[in-house]
A = this chain, B = another copy of it.
């Protein structure tokens, strides 16, 4: 530390051609965010980013806009900031949860390849309880899907999903051994925004044990999820049972306000 020369001091500087603004309709702070992620990927944990004022100049945006991008990265766990010292690349090997991800995305983030085995798919009335959760009348139809989700071919969880039929007509004809969130987004233009999850422990029964390839009464996690779109309309209700010996939930929690 402390080469008197070198333009960016300890900060790793990457050649960034002129201002930003290549994408047309995206907000500047989002473009900056994407560019910063690219830069961060080339750096190591603990490396210091160039100072905000410098980055703002490089990207051709105001410092407030740049800070908006960096704040978002800090929330997502890419970097951590320290007043007076700098902004540093965070350890990306852990966590990253607290983000709504489907199983496929979750697994590839952990370095596995996700696959599925479809057990059941049906088109049926929601019924009272489920109808209430999805804000439907009990007679309204839903698609019900049950799958075994696998990571590198090893069973990881049993997934039971219900989606209001009117949102995704013909969903039961889709390739349901693939990422459901992908299908929802590309085929139906449905983008999930957030979800409420409840996590409880359980032990697997005989049928579940067989599907997951674990002994009966093994510990497991139940994750119940109700996913919404941006206007908080319920889109998906999922209940997943993860085997406890190969899966854990990791999250970084922060104190007080952001």
**A residues near B, CB below 8 A?**
30, 33, 64, 71-72, 75-76, 80, 82, 94-95, 97-101, 191-203, 217, 219-221, 230-232, 244, 248-258
Chain B residues with CB under 8 A of A202: 201, 219, 244
How far does the alpha carbon of A76 sit from the alpha carbon of B256 in the complex, in Å? 9
What's the nearest-Cβ distance from chain B to residue A80, in Å?
Answer: 7
A253-B99 in contact given A75-B258, A82-B230 (Cβ < 8 Å): yes
Chain B residues with CB under 8 A of A219: 200-203, 219
List the number of copies, as a whole number: 2
By CB atoms of chain B within 10 A, which of A71, A252, A257 has the most? Answer: A257
A192-B248 in contact given A75-B75, A201-B201 (Cβ < 8 Å): no
How far does the alpha carbon of A33 sit from the alpha carbon of B257 in the complex, in Å? 9
Chain B residue nearest to A46 in the complex (CB) = B232
User: Is the beta-carbon distance between B250 and A71 smaller than 8 angstroms?
Assistant: no
User: Is the beta-carbon distance between A71 and B254 smaller than 8 angstroms?
Assistant: no
User: Is the beta-carbon distance between A196 and B250 smaller than 8 angstroms?
Assistant: yes
Chain B residues with CB under 8 A of A194: 252-255
Chain B residues with CB under 8 A of A192: 255
How far does the alpha carbon of A256 sit from the alpha carbon of B219 in the complex, in Å? 31
Chain B residues with CB under 8 A of A232: 80
Task: Return the 4 tightest CB-CB contacts between A and B, nearest first.
Answer: A201-B219, A201-B244, A201-B201, A100-B253
How far does the alpha carbon of A244 sit from the alpha carbon of B232 in the complex, in Å? 29
What's the nearest-Cβ distance from chain B to residue A64, in Å?
Answer: 8
